[in-house]
Structure 1
Amino acid sequence: MTELLYYLDLFGVVVFALSGALMAGRYKLDPFGVVVLASVTAVGGGTIRDVILGAYPVFWVANPVYLWLILFTAILTILIVRRPKRIPKRFLLIADAFGLALFAVLGTAKALSLEAPMPVAIVMGTLTGVAGGMIRDVLCNVIPMILRQEIYATAAMLGSCLYVALDYFAFAQNTSLVLAICGALALRLAAIYWQVSLPAFHISEKDAGQKPDKTQDKDT
């Protein structure tokens, strides 16, 4: 792992841990809950990626610095951010966008370094970017952003595809990393700013051939 790759990975862990800690504050979790939510958000996607690719030991087991960063970020968030509900929701989305872009591209780079085929690398990169946030949302009992109309997984896939393409054409790794991360981040931030979303798939009861149930069965 190059020095730039390593420091970007650390930054991604911090950003996603912040995202998880802020979400925990919105739902009034205790300090242990804050640390748990920050942890699963920060390392969830990378852990799944490493297990699937057989990259043992998992990255945070091999380097406990990641865990210390998560713990420090969670505690700092508790101490500094006294009222999470007063923080604009857009701030949480922006923090999540940075983590998404970083982890999608870094996950792709790691998969390629392990000689995974290009399609597999793209899937692993996308998974690295979205899985942590998905686990976070499930634990908070909200529909994960990846399953909503938000341009979320699409941005992760764009970053992964950009990195694979640039790597294929033999661009310098640092250049490929920066360009791919910027591409994924730009798409996600644009979607947040202009509230752009994918069309929803909806089947009405009429289209499904079912009559709306306007009455409830009465007790007999």
Structure 2
Amino acid sequence: MFMEWELLNVVGTIAFAASGAIIAMDEKYDIFGVWLLAFITAFGGGAIRNVLLGNPVSLIWQQNDLFILCFLVALLIFLLPSVVLPHWERWGVIVDAIGLVAFAFQGAQVAIKLDLPLSAAIAAAVLTGVGGGVVRDLLAGRKPLVLQSEVYAIWAILIAVITYYFKLEGGLAVYALLIVVATLRVISYYRKWNLPARKVR
């Protein structure tokens, strides 16, 4: 389980750091802004989750290797946008989907290991999967995407429910779950699946 946990951490960090850096550059932020949004996108959701679950927030500072990885990903995108961005436009939604499911599973696991109920597992999965992105969008002066159109947080909820009821911790079952849900996320993006929304005059 430890190796799987580390792999999910690496994948999620790369995906979300890249997302934060690209949005910062799209808003013409300087290099500090690029690093800040990359960091917040990658680690903000986990920090918010820890606050909500009563976990020590200081646990976030035990991830030095992931901090360095986040720093390097953002720096690479900042220095070589013409090399990275064309590939991101093609593969970004897939990478983001992998990051979403990886972090959502981790969030659910944290709540489950604390013997908390399903509602806490769902909240932890959603916050870990989308919390950093919401803060990123707010800092970039954008309406959080997860709150206005796409079916996004639903996939984190699905992972939490399945993980909780089937007591998934590791192995092929976890990878199968993450692959299926990540695929559904990509399909929902291209098919433009949206939750119902209404506008009051």
1:89, CA displacement in angstroms? Answer: 5.1
What is the aligned-residue RMSD (CA, Å)? 2.2
Any unmatched runs of 5+ in structure 1?
A: 206-220
Q: Say which is worse superposed, 17-26 or 78-87, in terms of deviation.
A: 78-87
2:12, 2:123 → 1: CA distance?
19
Instruction: State the secondary structure of the residue aligned to 1:55.
Output: coil
Q: Say which is worse superposed, 3-12 or 93-102, in terms of deviation.
A: 93-102
Larger RCO: 1 or 2 (CA < 8 Å, sep 6+): 2
Aligned pairs for 1:48-197 (under 5 A) are 48-56=48-56, 58-82=58-82, 91-167=91-167, 173-197=170-194
1:90, 1:69 → 2: CA distance?
22
TM-score, normalised via structure 2 length: 0.89
**1:70–1:92 Cα change, 3 Å:** same
1:133, 1:90 → 2: CA distance?
20
Higher radius of gyration, 1 or 2: 1
Instruction: State the secondary structure of the residue aligned to 1:197.
Output: coil
1:63, 1:113 → 2: CA distance?
20
- Sequence identity of aligned pairs in percent? 33
TM-score, normalised via structure 1 length: 0.82
Instruction: State the secondary structure of the residue aligned to 1:58.
Output: helix
**Count of aligned pairs between the two proteins:** 201
User: Conserved in 2, the CA contact under 8 Å of 1:20 and 1:41?
Assistant: yes
Greater share of helix: 2
2:86, 2:11 → 1: CA distance?
25
2:136, 2:89 → 1: CA distance?
16
User: Conserved in 2, the CA contact under 8 Å of 1:5 and 1:106?
Assistant: yes
**1:35–1:99 Cα change, 3 Å:** same
2:124, 2:108 → 1: CA distance?
6
- Equivalent residue number for residue 209 of structure 1: none
Instruction: State the secondary structure of the residue aligned to 1:116.
Output: coil
